[in-house]
Amino acid sequence: INMDPLFLAWSYFRRRKFQLCADVCSKILEENPFDQDAENTSLASEAAWSLKTRALTETVYIDEVDVDHEGIAEMLDENAIAQVARPGTSLKLPGTSQGGGPTPSVRPMTHAGRPVTGFVRPSTQSGRPGTMEQAIKTPRTGHTARPVTSASGRYVRLGTASMLTSPEGPFLNMSRLNLSKYAQMPNLSKSLFEYIFHNENDIKNATDLAALATEHAQFKDWWWKVQLGKCYYRLGLHREAEKQFKSALSQQEMVDAFLYLAKVYQRLDQPLTALNLFKQGLDRFPGEVTLLTGIARIHEEMNNIASATEYYKEVLKQDNTHVEAIACIGSNHFYTDQPEIALRFYRNRRLLQMGVYNCQLYNNLGLCCFYAQQYDMTLTSFERALSLVANDEELADVWYNLGHVAVGIGDLNLAYQCFKLALANNNDHAEAYNNLAVLELRKGRVEQAKAFLQTASSLAPHMYEPHFNFAALSDKV
Amino acid sequence: MPEVKSMFREVLPKQGQLSMEDVPTMVLCKPKLLPLKSVTLEKLEKMQQETQELVRQQEMALREQMHQEQPG
């Protein structure tokens, strides 16, 4: 007996076998095609069509709250009121430390001149260099490159991915869709919108559909307002996005809408407004983890590490498997000279239970073990980190940290080799250049040390070590 | 051990100036804790990698096709 194909497709969808689901749906659609203009299309083909859009969306779905790719074009900010914001009111002044966090002499900096965090998200990855000049300069090192605009970044590449898989071309032909017709079918329009937004990445058409649909719903459906806001945000129309989210919130308060609205304020560089908004959200949804995390992230970005840690602790009280909170508190303890407490966070069984089993975790464990004087675990952790690396940059970082262990035990030959290995794997590793220079100088090779220091300072102008060392060296000679 | 005590006596200057030379020493860059990755970021990277793989395979297949067509 054959199962009803539509039921089978549903079953695949529920079991998250999206490709299989889409294939079954395609078969159903081949037999009786879905035609939006025809009056006599069967309900089954309509359902299959809708299910296929949903399955294809799920294959490339990523949480829109987390995704934020700021391109160079976005830096030409026409919303800015003042060139130099007052201290404590902007995310773009990395230098103003108010929270009593560790100084750069203890805690390394990212390219943007911020202290490194314990956790990366798509939006923190680009490092947000503060000025245009920095932004244009940093792409020199391949993996920190910033796209010219957010529209040419990851989104597009992922959007075209779906087309490559099917030889008969894309599932839907955007230019031939009659959007106004779909907008009047509430049971189809939502899945179609998500398909256009996530798969096709065709924000213009998605905006059109959302605008038509919200009109059709007589501006009474908060969901369409949130979607419209998302589109406006992607198009860079931040004020319009703000209006939509606010209107959605006045209709129906949802955590999602709070998060999106806060994202708009952060893009507009208004961290204090975003903080207020999060607090409003917390009044409505007490103890909501995503809102608490949002507050902690803003504090961290404003260099207010102490209050960020407070909020991350609050997050852990609500959800003790929260990887971001564990990682951030752990790294904070490490850089405030409490490696044994950091070790407790990283060795936390919950991290492994959450499926965090990667090179980064074992590297951190190794470092914490070494500085907490648990030497038996150190090298095994690093060995495991080395066996888990995914790319050359990670490998370079692990070797670099191993070099520190070698310096710590006084084996300078090993340290030299470790730093050399770091450079062999990532030729842009400025920290390794600097440390090599120090070792070279101990061997009395001044010229070599000078060359390394110069390379380090040109690769990473934000670090103070190469400049300091070069000055000290020049003073001596 | 009393003999040793008589050999090494501590010297505590009671008068005069104590001077100390401040020698600039080289600084090493600090060890780097690697940040853990968020789920979204991991998924993004995985999707990107899969897509790249797919494109490469297709290009290889295309090239092979061209090769086969040329001699024939």
pLDDT of residue A140: 40
Phi-psi region of A311 (alpha: psi -120 to 50; beta: other; left: phi over 0): alpha
> Are A323 and B36 inside 8 Å of each other by CB?
yes
Q: Which residue of B has its CA nearest to A332?
A: B33
Q: What is the pLDDT of residues A218-244, one digit of tens each?
A: 999 999 999 999 999 988 889 999 999
Interface check B61 vs A, CB under 8 A = no
Would you say residue A191 lies in a domain? no
Farthest CA pair distance, chain A = 90
Beta bridge partners of B36: A119
Interface check A416 vs B, CB under 8 A = no
Q: pLDDT band at residue A126, thresholds of 50, 70 and 90?
A: very low
In angstroms, the CA A314 to CA A292 distance is 7
> Are A394 and B34 inside 8 Å of each other by CB?
yes
User: Among A11-25, A137-151, A442-456, whose mean pLDDT is lowest?
Assistant: A137-151
Under a CB-based contact definition with an 8 Å cutoff, are residues A245 and A264 in contact? yes
Q: pLDDT band at residue A254, thresholds of 50, 70 and 90?
A: very high
A412 burial type by CB count under 10 A (0-12 exposed, 13-18 middle, 19+ buried): middle
pLDDT of residue A397: 92
Domain that holds residue A423: 389-476
Q: What is the mean pLDDT of residues A79-101?
A: 62
How near does any CA of chain A get to the CA of B42, in Å?
Answer: 9
Would you say residue A429 lies in a domain? yes
B23 burial type by CB count under 10 A (0-12 exposed, 13-18 middle, 19+ buried): exposed
Query: What is chain A's mean pLDDT, rounded?
Result: 82
Enter the DSSP assignment of A196.
I
pLDDT of residue A38: 58
pLDDT of residue A449: 93
pLDDT of residue A105: 61
Residue that terminates a domain, selected from A61, A79, A104: A61
Q: Is the pLDDT of residue A272 over 70?
A: yes
> Are B35 and A397 inside 8 Å of each other by CB?
no
How near does any CA of chain A get to the CA of B1, in Å?
Answer: 33
In angstroms, the CA A41 to CA B70 distance is 47
Q: What is the mean pLDDT of residues A125-129?
A: 45
Residue that terminates a domain, selected from A27, A42, A61: A61
Of B36, B47, B55, which has the smallest distance from its Cβ to A360's Cβ? B36
CATH number of residue A467's parent domain: 1.25.40.10
How near does any CA of chain B get to the CA of A233, in Å?
Answer: 19
Would you say residue A317 lies in a domain? no
Q: pLDDT band at residue A129, thresholds of 50, 70 and 90?
A: very low
Q: What is the mean pLDDT of residues A8-30?
A: 91
Q: What is the pLDDT of residues A416-434, one digit of tens each?
A: 999 999 999 999 899 999 9
How near does any CA of chain B get to the CA of A440, in Å?
Answer: 11
Would you say residue A329 lies in a domain? no
Number of folded domains that form chain A: 2
pLDDT of residue A75: 60
ipTM of the complex: 0.74
Interface check B46 vs A, CB under 8 A = no
pLDDT of residue A69: 62
How near does any CA of chain A get to the CA of B15, in Å?
Answer: 32
Disruptive mutation site among A392, A431, A441 for chain B (greatest number of B CBs within 10 Å): A431
pLDDT of residue A159: 47
Under a CB-based contact definition with an 8 Å cutoff, are residues A154 and A64 in contact? no
Under a CB-based contact definition with an 8 Å cutoff, are residues A111 and A135 in contact? no
Q: What is the pLDDT of residues A357-416, one digit of tens each?
A: 889 899 999 999 999 998 898 999 999 999 999 888 889 999 999 999 999 999 999 999
Disruptive mutation site among B22, B23, B25, B30 for chain A (greatest number of A CBs within 10 Å): B30
Would you say residue A255 lies in a domain? no
Q: pLDDT band at residue A111, thresholds of 50, 70 and 90?
A: low
A residues 243-302 lying closer than 8 A (beta carbon) to B:
none
Q: What is the pLDDT of residues A57-68, one digit of tens each?
A: 888 888 888 776
Would you say residue A397 lies in a domain? yes
Interface check A112 vs B, CB under 8 A = no
In angstroms, the CA A160 to CA A56 distance is 13
A residues 438-477 lying closer than 8 A (beta carbon) to B:
438, 441, 463, 465, 468-469, 471-473, 475-476
Interface check A154 vs B, CB under 8 A = yes
pLDDT of residue A156: 47
Chain A positions touching B37 (Cβ under 8 A) are 119-120, 358, 360
Nearest CA among A387, A328, A425 for reference residue B35: A328
Interface check B19 vs A, CB under 8 A = no
> Are B35 and A475 inside 8 Å of each other by CB?
no
Residue with tokens 């008068």, as numbered in its chain: B15
Q: What is the pLDDT of residues A347-356, one digit of tens each?
A: 877 777 777 7
Nearest CA among B32, B41, B37, B45 for reference residue A324: B37
Q: Is the pLDDT of residue A160 over 60?
A: no
Interface check B40 vs A, CB under 8 A = yes
pLDDT of residue A144: 46
Q: What is the pLDDT of residues A295-327, one digit of tens each?
A: 998 988 887 888 999 999 999 999 988 888 998
pLDDT of residue B43: 82
Q: Buried b / exposed e across A100-113, counting CB within 10 Å, b at 16+? A: ebbebeebbbbbbb
In angstroms, the CA A146 to CA A73 distance is 10
Residue that terminates a domain, selected from A61, A92, A110: A61
pLDDT of residue A369: 92
Q: Which stretches within B19-38 are classed as H helix?
A: none
Of B31, B35, B40, which has the smallest distance from its Cβ to A117's Cβ? B35
Q: What are phi and psi of A393, to 5 degrees?
A: -65, -40
Disruptive mutation site among A16, A19, A59, A66 for chain B (greatest number of B CBs within 10 Å): A66
Chain A positions touching B49 (Cβ under 8 A) are none
User: Among A101-110, A249-258, A263-272, A451-460, whose mean pLDDT is lowest?
Assistant: A101-110
Would you say residue A230 lies in a domain? no
Q: Is the pLDDT of residue A142 over 70?
A: no
Would you say residue A413 lies in a domain? yes
- Listed as ranges, residues in chain B with pLDDT below 50 are 1
Q: Is the pLDDT of residue A166 over 70?
A: no
Q: What is the mean pLDDT of residues A436-454?
A: 92
How near does any CA of chain B get to the CA of A158, in Å?
Answer: 7
